[in-house]
Amino acid sequence: MNPIISSQIQEFRGSGFQFTANATTLIARIKTGSIIMIKKLSCLIICLLLSPTGHAAELAGVFVDDQITVENGEKLVLNGIGLREKFWVDVYVGSLYLTGKTSNIADILSSRKAWRIQMDFIYKEVDKEEFVNAWREIFQKNQSEETLAAIKDRLEEFFGFFDENLFAKDRYTYDYIPGKGTIVSKNNKVLGTIPGVDFRNALIEYFLGNYPADSDLKSGMLGLD
């Protein structure tokens, strides 16, 4: 036996370790154990890299967070997620964040706590004029003439934020902050803030009202799907 290996075995014996295998078997076991450990670690690393850490839901290739914090410090949870379709074409994924989960539209409208509506576009390009026209149509269906007259100027300001076509991977967020208004952002850049609870309600009814932009999207955002 190699004198170095013999010496190492004697040292281990002196430390209280018991060996029944010869030096060749011992070395083979050590090598095999190391290889198995390396393989397990490699698989673990790959899984961690591929898994959508920090995300709670996925729809049409879009991952959304399960919890967010808005400007005033309130923590919101994902209430639901849905898909906006038009003529069997997937346009965007819509997500609703609230301070607590609910499927009751009346509770959402009466609450004065913060919320967020998020739109993640998946269609390659959406014409800006067609997009704004869709907003107008649904607003008109859900709101009375009195409400439309009261928020007319603010609606035009809101429509002005969509001054260019919308592309896949664009993200728009609408954060209602009590006492401030609705903050409109595109790809994490603030475009402006629209004040008023009346505008806030009209905006949320675009998605959740009696005449929503998409009934399946509404159900998804309410967590009913």
Question: Which residue, among 68, 115, 114, 124, has the nearest Cα to 91 in the 3D structure?
Answer: 124
Domains in the chain: boundaries:
3-50, 55-221
Q: Give me the pLDDT at residue 16, please.
A: 43
Looking at residue 100, the DSSP 8-state letter turns out to be: S
Task: Give the pLDDT band of residue 56 (cuts 50, 70, 90).
Answer: confident
Q: Give me the pLDDT at residue 57, please.
A: 85
Interatomic CA distance for residues 26 and 9, integer angstroms: 10
Q: Give me the pLDDT at residue 88, please.
A: 85
Q: Give me the pLDDT at residue 1, please.
A: 52
172-211 residue pLDDT tens: 999 999 999 999 999 999 999 999 999 999 999 999 999 9
Q: Give me the pLDDT at residue 66, please.
A: 96
Give the global pTM: 0.76
Question: Which residue, among 161, 145, 147, 146, has the nearest Cα to 194 in the 3D structure?
Answer: 161
User: What does CATH list as the number for 55-221?
Assistant: 3.50.70.10
59-101 residue pLDDT tens: 999 999 999 999 999 999 999 999 999 888 999 999 999 999 9
Q: Are 84 and 213 in contact (CB under 8 A)?
A: yes
| DSSP-derived pairing of the beta strands 115-121 and 181-186 | unpaired
Q: Give me the pLDDT at residue 40, please.
A: 53
**Average pLDDT estimate for 18-43:** 50
Q: What is the mean pLDDT of the chain?
A: 84
